[in-house]
Structure 1
Amino acid sequence: MVDSLEYNTGKIYPGFRRAHTKGICVAGHFDSNGSGAALSTAPLFVTGTVPVIGRFNTGGSVPAGADADQIFHGLGLRFLFPARQEWRMALDDTPIFIVSNATDFIALQIASKPDPSTMQPDPSKMKAFLSVHPETQRFLDYLAKAPTPSSFANGTYHSINAFRFTNADGATHFVRWQFESETPFTAIDKSTSSKLPPNFLFDDLLQRMHEAPLRWHLILIPSNPGDRTDNATIAWGPGHDRVDAGTLVFDQIATEENGHCRDFNYDPLILPKGVSRSDDPLLPARSAAYAVSFERRAIEGPRPDAITLQEEKGAAQ
């Protein structure tokens, strides 16, 4: 999977993540209201406050890429608990994923490799891939129609995959979850986004957090009978229970070079007691790929963060 990302990009950027390369560190806490304990014994759901380190990021593998070129918004979270427990999450701003397994992910990276002369994938290769992967076409159709958040601050971030929760009585539930922002949603104008400054998402987040903390509600969504727990390309239907488990608050922000989110990964299988993996094959694949990416960039040594590179690129121009 990591090799395919490097192949798709056509260039390795030493010291950087192989995907979701451009990011910024945030920190704060999670205020639990105790409601999540009905589903899981995880320490996050005990009434009280838990510290958290996060990382907002765009998609892609080019450190100095402009924000407008990356329609994907992501959020990594690392919750720290007593007794050496922690919970790491890798969240997307889409409720579904583009493929359902590692083999298809690799094939997509190969098919979508940009032609250096046009910076676009070969249409014939993409057509061939999409003809046998309707789930990927469904995801692309969703992206084309769905409004894109104008800010990291006003987006909803989804677990994508389902996980198995176990409560104090030993009852288990498959659960997806999402963090829903208290900041009113506004959409970016896709027709004019290319005219925005290259770091507009990160500049906006810096300004907002210097003015006031930002908040999201953690909404747990238990599965209904018939919901797929092994396929992240399929959205769960309407009519689900929603459990508001508490509030995520970010009140600190720093570049990756100065913050504390760069030198570890957001492995979705680093889980506390009370939460375990589902039968979704993407979970072990993501975990393994994150580890390989981390090992490679650790050997290569840290570089200036992507935002600093973008600013240096702009100054040189």
Structure 2
Amino acid sequence: MTSRPPPLGTAATLARFALIALPVLLLGITFAYVRGWLDPTRLTPVKIVDTLQATGGDHPGYRRNHAKGVCVTGWFESNGQLAQASKAEVFAPGRTPVVGRFALPGGNPYAPDNSVPIRSLALRFTQADGQQWRTGMNSMPVFPVGTTQAFFDSLQASRPDPATGKPNPAAQQAFFASHPETAAFLAWVKTAKPSASFATERYDGLNAFYLVAADGTRQAVRWRVVPEGVTPAPSAGEGADYLAQDIEQRLAAGPLRWTLQMTFANPGDPVDDASKAWPVDRRTLEAGTLVLDRAVAQNDGPCRDINYDPTVLPQGIEISGDPLLPARSAAYADSYLRRTGEVNSLHAAQEPRP
């Protein structure tokens, strides 16, 4: 007895189901791969964020890195100088609203401000068409390493020793000895000192991206913001939280400004390795002015629920082949899901029961 084919209506239904199920299946496989379920030995975002958490301590509801920070708002005033190099609306002449966040590296939201010499600035530009440009920048000239595995190894070397509660100097020395690419960063950090103000810092994007023009031309760039006309702060701040106090006082007196600069790579410059600086003679254009006019505590401010994923880009800006960019994106997403879940659980526990 031979089986008959299903009625036409049933066949169409099965085909439609297959079209729906296949993408879902692929998404599930991709998710399992990213989480490391298909290969437990593979480096995953979960492992990176777990290590960040082990280093910074258990602080539910906070970012696993750059946990201590303050929200800021303002706008970017483009001068149009990059409009020919990128079709992104943010570079057309005019104003784009910005929500930013000053922060310290590390996972401890209660760390004293003088504990590290690095300051960070994350920004979200929202174009009139709804597209966003998100970027995270740091007050250092290069990233210590150029690969995700090396970054993970550096986190492992920095984990507190259970016996002392502090990183093991021998483990850190061994890491740096086995990673000669950290030499440029180490040369900088030897003379770096914790500044007394977020406002006086230059913030570099470090990773390379591509600007894409309307005709499809792609040019590799790195960006930074440089402070304009800022009164120097004292050589050292007072108290554990002087950075937030300083920026709030400065903004209460008036807006603060930074010039957004774009540096273009020459052929042969490394665009996939954030540990390597470009020569100082590379062509640089001023794209406009970042203006910040308000500071708000991060627990209630507009930056609280923003994931400053550096791969969220408008048309006209594209990621390079730098392996740190997708790794940062995945780790940021994992950290975001953890902290928002913790906040939601806390709020649910505090709600009165009927």
Q: TM-score, normalised by structure 1?
A: 0.89
Instruction: Decide which of 55, 59, 78 is 1:8's aligned counterpart.
Output: 55
In structure 2, the CA distance between the partners of 1:91 and 1:185, relative to structure 1 (3 Å rule), is: farther
Deviation at 1:99, TM superposition (A): 1.6
Matched, 1:222 2:269: no
Q: CA deviation at 1:185?
A: 7.1
Per-residue CA deviations over 1:179-200 (Å, capped at 9, x if unaligned) read 00003474774xxx5x831111
Distance 2:68 2:345 in 1: 12
1:46-125 to 2 correspondences below 5 Å: 46-116=92-162, 118-125=164-171
**Structure 1 letter corresponding to 2:155:** Q
Secondary structure of 1:56's counterpart equals strand
Report the residue type matching 2:50 in the other structure: D
- Per the TM alignment, residue 227 of structure 1 is displaced from its structure 2 partner at its CA by 1.0
For the 8 Å contact 1:215–1:247, the answer to whether it is kept is yes
Matched, 1:271 2:271: no
Worse-matched range after superposition: 60-69 or 270-279: 60-69
Gaps of 5+ in 1: 305-317
8 Å Cα contact 1:149/1:185 also seen in 2: no
Contact 1:155 1:180 in 2 (8 A): yes
Select which of 318, 329, 341 maps to 1:299.
Answer: 341
Match for residue 90 of structure 2?
Answer: 44
SS of the aligned residue for 1:154 comes to coil
CA distance in 1, matches of 2:165, 2:233: 26
Specify the alignment match of 1:252 in structure 2. 294
Deviation, structure 1 residue 119 = 4.5
Q: In 1, Cα distance between the equivalents of 2:305 and 2:314?
A: 21
Whole-angstrom distance in 2 between the partners of 1:110 and 1:274: 37
The secondary structure found in structure 2 opposite 1:36 is coil
- Secondary structure of residue in 1 paired with 2:199: helix
Deviations 1:216-237 (A, max 9, x none): 0000101012210010001111
User: In 1, distance between residues paired with 2:64 and 2:299?
Assistant: 17
- The one-character-per-residue Cα deviations of 1:130-183 (angstroms, maximum 9, x if unpaired) are 111112243122112245533100111111100011112221100001000003
Structure 1 residue matching 2:82: 3-state secondary structure: helix
* TM-aligned CA distance change 1:168 to 1:26, over 3 Å: same
Q: Is the Cα contact below 8 Å between 1:114 and 1:120 reproduced in 2? A: yes
Is the Cα contact below 8 Å between 1:50 and 1:81 reproduced in 2?
A: yes
Is the partner of 2:243 in helix, strand or coil? helix
Q: State the one-letter code of the partner of 1:162.
A: A
Within the candidate set 210, 233, 239, 1:164 is matched to: 210
> Equivalent residue of 2:51, what SS?
helix
Give the secondary-structure state (helix, strand or coil) at the position aligned to 2:263: strand
Out of 227, 247, 252, the residue aligned to residue 205 of structure 1 is: 247
- The gaps in structure 2 that reach 5 residues or longer are 1-47, 347-354
Secondary structure of the residue aligned to 2:83 is helix
| Alignment: residue pair count | 299
Query: In structure 1, how many angstroms separate the alpha carbons of the residues matched to 2:335 and 2:260?
Result: 28
Q: TM-score, normalised by structure 2?
A: 0.80
Letter in 1 for 2:61: G
CA RMSD of aligned residues (A): 1.9
% identical equivalent positions: 41
Equivalents in 2 of 1:70, 1:146: separation in Å? Answer: 9
- Between 1:228-237 and 1:123-132, the stretch displaced more is 123-132
Residue in structure 2 matched with residue 307 of structure 1 by the alignment: none
Bigger relative contact order (CA 8 A; separation at least 6): 1
Structure showing greater radius of gyration is 2
